[in-house]
Amino acid sequence: MTSENTRLTVSMAVRAGAQLLGDAGIKTAAVEAKALMGYALASEPKLGDPRVPVSSTDLFMRADEPAPEQYQQWLRRRIDREPMQHIVGSASFDGLDFLSSPAGFIPRPETELLVEWADHWLRGFEHPVTVVDVCSGPGTIALALAHRLSSLSTPPVTIIGIEKDPAAIQLARDNEAQLRRRGLLADSVVVKFLRMDVREPVMLGRHGLVATADLVLSNPPYVPETALDEGHISVEVRQDPHDAVFGGADGMSLMPDLARFIDLLARVGAGVAVEHDDATGPQVQKVLREAGMVEVAQDHDFADRDRFVTATIRRDPGHIPTYDPWAQRNDRVNTATTDREGA
């Protein structure tokens, strides 16, 4: 971008960077060039904390300063389509700065609407509340909600993030630690992250979580694999952990297991919200209804596209959870007995 004898100012470097990013096929080139400079001008973070960009006002006031050399280095990486969040080690979500790395998926702004819905749903509770974030990834939903509730005078809240990927769980725990160090989470809000697979709900019993959740949230892997073949997935999204993003050919492969998991996890009257691909809203509604949930409704994102489905847990007399570990255990025992008798 410059010769050895030329040093661009901040404003000049941002303009040049926007041009280069645009030439690389990045649609939001001007916005990203400015954002990248905001991070480049920021102070070096404390160990374990995310980098926090300077404000737009600060960026404007420093327009005539020499551009940091790091900006050019980062710009080259972004031109190669490395996600900006991985370059700077930080991702913004719901007004918070999170640690970001290839260990966890990059949070999207649309998911903030699910957090906002959960925040409103929890208002007015007068008893201790348990919230469970299923497929928690780097913990952004759980921790963003914890931050929102930290500013309120509420009963004690426990938020549990459930995730099967140990690397993502570690990133989530690191994010909780840095938010607490920075005074952004109240002591009255307890956050835990547990390693668990949605396809193995028997683990809920081992952790004492059966019928305990007042609210269940989930941003599961839901992008259809077919979108990869059709070229609809950006280079950046392809660099997220595959299993955290893609949900089989139609994006629905995990949804039936997720519904059964939620049915076992939630208490009577619990709220449920599940994010999904904008083309699968009706299918997700159907899966939740088949699991016995009621008041199933569709919510939308900023562009008015179907984005997440909400529901309520019902427990009619005689209700049997859609997942019954004892029934499955008995089936295995009966099968083994039959095999022995036939031998």
What does the domain layout of the chain look like in residue ranges? 10-86, 109-326
Stated pTM of the model: 0.89
Helices (H), the chain: 10-23, 29-40, 56-61, 69-79, 84-88, 112-122, 140-150, 166-181, 202-206, 226-229, 242-245, 255-265, 281-290, 325-342
Q: Within the chain, which residues score under 70 in pLDDT?
A: 1-6, 317-343
Residue of 265, 263, 228, 234 lying closest to 248 (CA atoms): 228
Residue 52: strand, helix, or coil: coil
CA distance 58 to 31: 16
Task: Give me the count of residues in the chain.
Answer: 343
**pLDDT at res. 317:** 64
Class of domain 109-326: alpha beta
- Residues 98-147 pLDDT 10s: 999 999 999 999 999 999 999 999 998 889 999 999 999 999 999 999 99
| Amino acid 321: pLDDT | 65
Residue 320: the pLDDT is: 63
Predicted pLDDT at 252 = 97
Tokens of 108: 């999207």
pLDDT given at position 318: 63
Query: Please, what sign has the CA dihedral across residues 229, 235, 240, 244?
Result: negative
